[in-house]
Amino acid sequence: MTEPYRIMTVCTGNICRSPMAEVVLRDRLERAGLGDRVVVDSTGVSDEERGNPIDRRARTALAARGYPVPDRAARQVRADDLAHRDLVLAMTSSHARALRRLADGEAAVAMYRSFDPSAPRVDDGEPEHLLDVDDPWYGGPENFEHCLDEIEAAADGVVAHVRAALTDR
């Protein structure tokens, strides 16, 4: 049997954006018939939230849209994690820079929103931060809804990318 394709989503503390993206991607991959061939997990670049569950506001936003919300604990990304992932999806440009430093060229790091067809196109020389997934932490429920909108908008593009990668294996 072929090894599963492995995706990791990464934000700051691993309690809002990256676990929301993890949940959405699992759902979309399952619906696309790829759930048994792809493993999705998430981490944060910081250890400040290590061991904490998904933020209650993120949990509420996900549940309101019908996503099953797993019990899980936040954890910090390690270089070893990156070496064992086929695709690492950063929520912001600062996360991407931290991941690229940690990976030392040994991981495929991409901006999560680069898979959203309606997101700004960032070519060479343009600022990557234009693709940041907005941080809902300091806001209210509407900020978590907006964050989930951004995550959902890119999810089908990630699925298409993974489908093509699996075809090439």
Residues assigned a catalytic role: 11, 17, 135
Answer yes or no: are the C-beta atoms of 95 and 45 closer than 8 Å.
yes
Which residue, 52, 43, 50, is CA-closest to 21? 43
Tokens 């699925």 — which residue? 159
Residue 44: φ, ψ to 5°: -130, 155
Tokens of 165: 């990668």
Tokens 């070519």 — which residue? 123
Tokens of 17: 């954006």
Which residue, 127, 151, 132, 128, is CA-closest to 42? 151
Instruction: Find residue 44's DSSP bridge partners.
Output: 11, 76
